[in-house]
Amino acid sequence: MQHSASAIGALFAAGLSATPSLAQCGSTLGPDLDPPTLAPGDSFGESVRTDGASAIVGAYAADLLGADAGRTWIWRWDGSAWIDRQELVVGSLDATDPNDHFGRSVDVAGEWALVGAYQDDDGGSNRGAAHFFRREASIWTWKQEVTASDGANTDRFGRALAIRGDIAAIGAPFDDDIGLDCGSAYVFRRDGSGTWIEEQKLLPTIDGGANDRFGKAFAVGENCVLVGSSLNSAAVFEGGAAYVWRYDALSSTWIEEARLQPPTPTPEERAGVAVALDGPAGSELAVVGAFDYDANPGDPLAGTGAAYVYRRVAGTWMYEGRLTSSDGVARDGFGWTVAVSGEVILVGSVFADHSGLVDAGAVYVFRRVGGVWTETRKLVSPSPIDADEQLGDSISIAGNRAIFGAHRWTDGKGRVVTGTIEDECVLAVCVADGSGATCPCANDVALGLVAGCRNSLGTGGALTSIGDASVASDTFVLHGAGMPNNSALYIQGTILASASFGDGLRCASGSVIRLGQKSNSGGASAYPTGGELQISLKGACSAGVVRIYQCWYRNSASFCTADTFNLTSALRVVWRP
């Protein structure tokens, strides 16, 4: 079995080894948050948020304090479970009234929690209000009610909100200041005495107009506020947008920094129905949901949904990509909710069907791998699942801890599913379908096909696996398919790259080890077989390390470059103990 010395040698001179990750792998769901006593129609889980240490959940239609008065609870993470459920109760002078919808929006950050009651009538019909609570000696206590300084009837202040540190942002999406139902947002800042004071009212001066619903979705970063405006029609009818505001310390004012909209807006995709923000000041990552995005705008029943990713680089917001679900169908509502933590994005698909259950809902996990946002997992509710429970109607993540609301479960009582979001144990990467790097001579495979660049057979080589990538009980076997019946070489790398190499893409880079040479039969081969050394031993793998696997192979003839070799897609593997 002979190989080009220069071609194969280049595989082993691609770079230096990377520092191994010591992360666990594999996302898990469950159990549900310990629920309070609920009644049909309470909509427990319509709003959820977590900062990793606390989880807060609203049931805006709960009737205990009057029809649709609403209720809210909060839990504490003790290191292994969510415990100590406590109900947040408003002070007697500002008590919750029927139809207030207390808990329609919630958020928590450290020792402060914020709850919206957007149909509160104390200052006028549906003017709205929001309530601050503070944790003192493990007890959450109501501290303050806030309303808009210039609120008007039906503004619905408190319909959406967010809090971080000493900054809170609260929306009034039906405010009429620059057009009927254009909407507005109010920023509050906590002073040294612990009092929250209205600092500035935000209005969408860049292409804002009537019926925009500016202020219906929020995310707050470090001196940065992201505001959704899902019905904005500046580009196309109800195409939607999101606005970034940043605090300028020199002028002590909030300045409208950018307007984020889809790169090619389509009518009624409603970008900005949900927004999320994470990252250090000046280098934030923003996610904007567009639940009615049409992959085929000519189809009136399309609308599978999308989420758009933007990153701030050197003072400019850069578009990074559009996320869609791998199995989406019309009216799934993908993008109804979004959440982000680090390089992980969650997207709710609230109307997705599952196992024959209509509108059961789902949540998709995306991870940035090798510079490409990759769908890594679809999460559905643990049993018992109901049709129309709508998992993903609200979602939140902090670190690796996540919570998901399904507010219509069991006749609308609602449930909240907890989750741990970890790196995938085995993840297909280096897929040459045009979603990432381009193949050397436009020999990409069809979009959605998990394979490497097309070869002399007109197919793409694909790498899959079976068995367990466990150091203690290694049964892990690599399988290559879709290749000509020629020689093949299975390799392990320490760095995920993406560089043109022969007719394909080399993705297993860094410190590269030759695992084994094979002869393909029926276009396929495997390693290890027949008593060959286990991969963990041959590759000197230890628990927690991340390794990249790929198969180099000979084409039957010169295909699209002068070289006569190609590579399969790759696998990114986290080795378990």
Residues 385 and 432 in one domain: no
How many angstroms from the chain centroid is the CA of residue 157?
27
Same domain, 253 and 384: yes
In terms of domains, do 14 and 133 share one?
no
Q: Tell me whether strands 334-341 and 316-323 are parallel, antiparallel or unpaired.
A: unpaired
Domain carrying residue 93:
28-421
Boundary (domain end) residue, out of 367, 394, 421: 421
- Tokens at 486, concatenated: 């020629």
Asked if 391 and 515 sit in the same domain, the reply is no
Is 105 or 423 the better-scoring residue by pLDDT?
105
In the predicted model, what is the mean pLDDT of the chain?
A: 92
Listed residues 391, 421, 451: the one ending a domain:
421
Residues 212 and 335 in one domain: yes
3-class state of residue 492 by DSSP: strand
Which tokens in the block code for residue 415?
Answer: 């449930």
Asked whether residue 577 carries a pLDDT value surpassing 80, the answer given is yes
Element containing residue 61 per DSSP (H, E): none
What CATH number does residue 79 fall under?
2.130.10.130
Q: What pLDDT shows up at residue 91?
A: 81
452 by Cβ neighbours in 10 Å (0-12 / 13-18 / 19+) ranks as buried
Assess contact for 454 and 443: CB atoms under 8 A.
Answer: yes
Same domain (yes/no): 183, 331 = yes
Say how many domains are in the chain. 2
Q: Are residues 387 and 525 in the same domain?
A: no
Residues 77 and 137 in one domain: yes
Shared domain check, 97 and 50:
yes
Instruction: Please check the confidence at residue 542 and state whether its pLDDT lies above 90.
Output: yes
Check pLDDT > 60 for residue 17.
no
* pLDDT tens per residue across span 310-345: 999 999 999 999 999 989 888 999 999 999 999 999
Q: What is the pLDDT of residues 192-236, one digit of tens each?
A: 999 999 999 999 988 899 999 999 999 999 999 999 999 999 999
Tell me: the pLDDT tens digits for 412-453? 999 999 999 998 999 999 999 887 789 999 999 998 899 999
Of 238 and 21, more confident: 238
For the cut 60, the answer to whether the pLDDT of residue 19 exceeds it is no
Please give the structure tokens belonging to residue 159.
């319909």
Strands (E), 291-390: 306-313, 316-323, 334-341, 344-349, 362-369, 372-379
Q: Which residue has the higher pLDDT, 96 or 535?
A: 535
Find out whether 560 and 432 touch, Cβ atoms under 8 Å: no
Share of the chain above pLDDT 70, in %: 94
Give the model's pLDDT for residue 55. 98
Instruction: Name the one residue in this structure whose structure tokens are 């639940």.
Output: 291
pTM of the model: 0.89
Question: Per residue in 464-508, pLDDT tens?
Answer: 999 999 999 999 999 999 999 999 999 999 999 999 999 999 999
User: 535 with 447, same domain?
Assistant: yes
pLDDT of residue 4 exceeding 50, the answer is no
Q: What average pLDDT score do residues 233-261 get?
A: 96
For residues 244 and 160, state if they share a domain: yes
Are 165 and 65 contained in the same domain? yes
Determine the Cα–Cα distance for residues 317 and 241; give it in Å rounded to an integer.
Answer: 14
Domain boundary among 374, 394, 421: 421
